[in-house]
Each structure stands twice: as C-alpha cells, then as structure tokens.
A and B are shown apart, each in its own frame.
Chain A
C-alpha cells in the first residue's frame, strides 16, 4: 500500500486500483476488530465505510464490555474515550403510569480497576477505534457505500462494487461487517431477510446535565456510573425494554420493542420514549436536561435460530450483520468485536499457511466460534425469542402484576397480611391459571439454565 494512499485518508481519495488481501465492509466494532487484527498480522486491508467518519451512522446504549476489547487492544484504557465505569446495576419494573419496583446491585468489587464495564459514546468511541485500525496499517476509505459483491464464474466472491466511479475493488476475501440493516449480504442472497418478530427498533435521546447533578441523582461520584434496565408496562405490553445510562455529563435514555408488536399495537416509537421520559419515576432524574440528539437503530434479536450461513467462498459475515446479539444480557458490541476478531484470526492463519479463502477453509471461522463463549451464549438462550413471542406475559402482565401486588401488600388498609397474600394470589390466578403459571416459571427457568 502506498504512503500516498494512506495519507489521502478518507474523503476525496480515489479508490485504489490494487488488489487487497481483505476488504472489510463497515467500520463499527465488528469491522474495526477485524481490520485491526488483520492489519496487525501484516495483511493488506481495505476498509470501506459509508459514513463521513466511523461512528457517524451508529447507535448504541452504550455499555462497553472490557473483556472483548482487551483481547484486541489490551491497553485500551490508556487512550479510549470512556465515560464512566459501572458500579451499580438497577433493574426496574415500571408500570404504565406511576409505580416502580426495583432491585439494585452495587458492589465495591466493581470499583476495583481494571474495570469490567464502561459507558461510552459511540460516535467518539468508533472514531478512536478507527484511529487504532489506521495506525495498525489498514486503509480506511469513508463516504463510500458498498453496493454489491463481485463474483467470478464459479460464484466465488472476489471483491465489492461501490457507488464510486470505477468503483469495483478486488480482494481474496470480503468480511461483511455492515451491521443490522445488512443490505449487501441480503441482496447477494447470502442471508435471508430478518422477520419483524426477530427485530427490535430502539429509539434513544442524549440528555445533557451538569456532572454534579448526574452524580447526585444517581448516587455516584468521580468516574463511577450506573446502569438502569427497565421492563414492564412502559412498553404497552409489547416485548421490549428500556434503559437509562450515565455518561460523564449526559444521560442516555432509550426504549426498544420488537417491531411485530409495534405494528400490531400501533404505538409509535416516539410515543414510547415520551411515555418513559414522563413516567413519574423517570421524570425527576432527567429534569432540567438539554436534549442534544434523537436517534434510532434496529437490533437483531432473533438469536441463535436466526443465524445465517457464516461463511462461503471468499466471504465471512460478522457482528450485527449476522445477528450476533444476546438480547437477554443486552450484549452486541462485544459479540461484534469477538466475531470480527475470530474471523480475522482465521483469515490470517489461512494466509500464513498459503491456503485459499474457500468455503472449506473458512469453515474454521465457524469452528472457532463454536468453541468460544459466543456460540455457547447464543445457544444457551436459543429458546428465549420464541418463548417471549409466544408468552408475552413474561414482560407484559407479570411485571405489572408484581408492582400491583407490592402496592397491595404495602398499603395499610386494615386487612390482615394473610388476607392480603390470598388476595394477591387470587389476582394473579385471574390473569393466568395455576398450571399456566407453573408452566411459565418452568419454561422461563429452562431458558436460563
């Protein structure tokens, strides 16, 4: 790769005429992890990103899980733009209008470096990661949308087409890291379209507040941060959750629901978010803040059963583009980085051994994933999406029941405690038969086992 090309950087650079070892489509966590790992192994890497800069199109909560990034850039803490390290996790059940049931977990263990989880701001984080990728020697070209895959007569993928003039570029292998709205592999017939029952849409706002106000409202100090995950009536009975994360001087607040439910329930995403922001338990936390951005992004939540073919002749697929998201634990970026890294390691090993990038050889990518936590976790929760789709009561009526039950239990109204317990139990029985409840409990437990 010539210095001239590298220096030319992104915007007006002409597309390079040479052939690359690898083309990476996308500069999110998956594409960056892959490009970094490949460039460090000495391969020639071209990375194409449609945004003006990496991160300009990307949305996340965002919690960064250290472990996945440590495996790629061990000393990331020295230079990455990190907001706060998480010391407290709150689980909230909010009913539609007024009440809150909560469980908090806070531990001093979370206050011992090296920290395990951080809040980040994706536009900043992706820029930083991309800087590392370019320092490692990969060539990044931004403002370039990949429009299709090039194939030879035998159907092998041999490069990509772009919207630019003379926009075809060739490589031994293409890594598809183009995220959830994954047009390139779908149009090339490499993956089926995702169904609305397997896809969530999340909307989010970034709300600015003085640092001290955030620390006081969330009971944190210094670089400590907290995570609040919310379920219950605020989703109007739809399958979904909400969140409030603390950054240094802003809050990230968002809510996401499965699209199939949104279609049927006919509640718009902005109404959902407004309902959350105006809930009496949330409103005081965000009072006086200044909203500086409104964003939306889909999340592939179909899990293991919806994973497509992960490799073929001349291509592999990684991250959200393949559907690597663990919806139960709200993990996505870490799976994106891990699948990107493992794909890159597979390709670097084949290259070192002088082997072609055939489907048979790239199968090693899937084998490595199978042996990693990625597939173990994806498999563990494989029944969860079906279970929740078929039994919306887990995130619908049970949470509102729990808050109602606590309300009755804690209201001093002259009824005996035994009478109250009986009443609460009867209330639950009315919503669901006893056998139904026992069955639910069992099924729920099974998916976590």
Chain B
C-alpha cells in the first residue's frame, strides 16, 4: 500500500464520518460561476511531487472537492473552486501554483 492509501484506510477504519459520502457537486450546483474556460487559476507544479506526497491534504481540506485521488494520481479540476485558498496553504510541499482567476471570473457569491 502507498502511504496515501494507508491514510485512506486509516480514515475508513476510524469509521470516518457518517457523512463521508456527501455529494459536494450537488451543493456546488446551487452556486453561480463564470468559468474562465481553458485557463485554470490553480496548477500543480510537479505531478511527481504529488505522487510522493504522504498525506495529500489537498484532497481532504478542499471544501469543493476539486482535488481527487483517482487510481493513485491527483486530479485537479478547478471549475467548482470557491477561491478559499486552502489548497495553497495546506500543501507542505508548496506544490500548488495558486493565482486568483482573471478579474470577474470564478465564483460569484449571491449571498456570501
């Protein structure tokens, strides 16, 4: 098992949360976005660094489920990003190249 898988197994063993299946996409569906197509504002610097990363904290802490572990690889899709900045801060390897979307693009909070 890779370290990340061990972490995941631990999480499952601990019983995780009874809500570990919560569907974030459904929540994001209520939000308004102006997506800057083809210009993601967050990028992974080196995918090799992610592969070696033990904790993959981005996959846990991102409130919008933008960071996913798919068959051992980190997948990042920023369309639903809430622009909180968390992934930038929790990555110990500083492997997240984080910029604000171009002015006017991205999340548009109706209430905030």
Residues of A with Cβ closer than 8 Å to B? 11, 50-52, 55-60, 62, 121-124, 126, 142-145, 162-164, 180-181, 183, 193-194, 196, 199, 201, 203, 205-206, 236, 250, 259, 262-263, 266-272, 274-275, 278, 291-298
Distance of B1 from chain A, by nearest CB (Å):
16
Distance of B20 from chain A, by nearest CB (Å):
6
Inter-chain contacts of A205 with B (CB < 8 A): 27
Cross-chain contact A263 with B55 (CB below 8 angstroms): yes
Cross-chain contact B110 with A292 (CB below 8 angstroms): yes
Among B62, B100, B110, contact of A50 (Cβ-Cβ < 8 Å) = B100
Among B17, B22, B24, B109, contact of A236 (Cβ-Cβ < 8 Å) = B17
Cross-chain contact A55 with B109 (CB below 8 angstroms): yes
Chain A CB count within 10 A is highest, among B16, B84, B98, B108, for: B84
Distance of A385 from chain B, by nearest CB (Å):
16
Interface residues of B in 87-112 (CB under 8 A from A): 88-90, 98-104, 106-112
Cross-chain contact A270 with B24 (CB below 8 angstroms): yes
* A262 to chain B: closest residue by CB: B61
Distance of A348 from chain B, by nearest CB (Å):
28
Chain B CB count within 10 A is highest, among A58, A59, A183, A266, for: A266
* A11 to chain B: closest residue by CB: B104
| With contact pairs A50-B100, A294-B28 given, residues A57 and B19 touching in the complex (Cβ less than 8 Å) | no
> In which size bucket is the chain B interface?
35 or more
Cross-chain contact B112 with A181 (CB below 8 angstroms): no
Chain A CB count within 10 A is highest, among B17, B18, B31, B98, for: B17
A270 to B62, CA, bound (A): 9
Cross-chain contact A274 with B83 (CB below 8 angstroms): no
Distance of B54 from chain A, by nearest CB (Å):
11
Cross-chain contact B103 with A123 (CB below 8 angstroms): no
Inter-chain contacts of B102 with A (CB < 8 A): 145, 163
Inter-chain contacts of A121 with B (CB < 8 A): 111-112
Cross-chain contact B89 with A293 (CB below 8 angstroms): no
Inter-chain contacts of A55 with B (CB < 8 A): 109, 112
* B104 to chain A: closest residue by CB: A143
The majority secondary structure among interface residues of chain B is: loop
* B98 to chain A: closest residue by CB: A183
Q: Which 3 A-B pairs have the closest CB atoms?
A: A181-B85, A143-B104, A122-B112
Distance of A275 from chain B, by nearest CB (Å):
6
Cross-chain contact B89 with A194 (CB below 8 angstroms): yes
For the complex with contacts A52-B104, A55-B109, 14 further pairs of A-B residues with Cβ separation under 8 Å are A57-B107, A57-B112, A60-B112, A124-B111, A143-B104, A259-B61, A259-B89, A266-B60, A268-B63, A269-B63, A271-B19, A295-B107, A295-B112, A296-B63
| With contact pairs A123-B109, A123-B110, A291-B27 given, residues A262 and B60 touching in the complex (Cβ less than 8 Å) | yes
| With contact pairs A268-B61, A271-B20 given, residues A296 and B86 touching in the complex (Cβ less than 8 Å) | yes
B34 proximal to A (CB < 8 A): yes
Cross-chain contact A201 with B60 (CB below 8 angstroms): no
Among A145, A183, A291, A296, contact of B64 (Cβ-Cβ < 8 Å) = A296
Inter-chain contacts of B10 with A (CB < 8 A): 266
Among A62, A291, A296, contact of B84 (Cβ-Cβ < 8 Å) = A296
Among B84, B90, B104, B110, contact of A181 (Cβ-Cβ < 8 Å) = B84
Cross-chain contact A267 with B111 (CB below 8 angstroms): no
A262 to B98, CA, bound (A): 20
A279 to B14, CA, bound (A): 20
A25 to B9, CA, bound (A): 45
Cross-chain contact B111 with A122 (CB below 8 angstroms): yes
Distance of B22 from chain A, by nearest CB (Å):
5
Cross-chain contact A142 with B61 (CB below 8 angstroms): no
Cross-chain contact A52 with B34 (CB below 8 angstroms): yes
Cross-chain contact B84 with A201 (CB below 8 angstroms): yes
Q: What are 5 A-B interface contacts by the 8 Å CB criterion?
A: A51-B108, A268-B17, A274-B22, A275-B17, A298-B85
A297 to B83, CA, bound (A): 8
A126 to B107, CA, bound (A): 16
* B41 to chain A: closest residue by CB: A145
Inter-chain contacts of B62 with A (CB < 8 A): 268
* A53 to chain B: closest residue by CB: B108
Distance of B49 from chain A, by nearest CB (Å):
17
Inter-chain contacts of B55 with A (CB < 8 A): 263
Cross-chain contact A270 with B65 (CB below 8 angstroms): yes
Inter-chain contacts of B60 with A (CB < 8 A): 262-263, 266-268
